[in-house]
Amino acid sequence: MKTRLAEIINTRGIEKRQIAKDLQIERRTLDNYVNEVTLMNSDIIKKLAQYFNVSTDYLLGVDRLEDDFLNTKIENICNELKEIVYHLQKK
């Protein structure tokens, strides 16, 4: 089963090398978190949640999607679709 961290990394398209560098951790350590070989401590959970702009609960798989990034994208797409429908109806 894919971890929530793995899903976020794949969705965002950021290389693990870059994430590890930005968070000042070893790439191998990040891989261990992703593969659940090593449990994340509270400090790294907070850092990862801030880095990806998600709640710690979401990162840990406790809650439903409350990711501001994805919610904003969905809202923008809905607004664009409304605009397209509006213009199509005018014709």
Tens of pLDDT, residue by residue over 34-87, are: 998 999 999 999 999 999 999 898 888 876 555 666 777 788 888 899 889 888
Mean pLDDT of 19-35: 95
Find the Cα–Cα–Cα–Cα dihedral 43, 45, 14, 36, rounded to 10°.
120
Q: Is the pLDDT of residue 90 over 60?
A: yes
pLDDT band of residue 15 (cuts 50, 70, 90) is: very high
Distance CA(15)–CA(61), nearest Å, equals 21
Higher-confidence residue of 75 and 14: namely 14
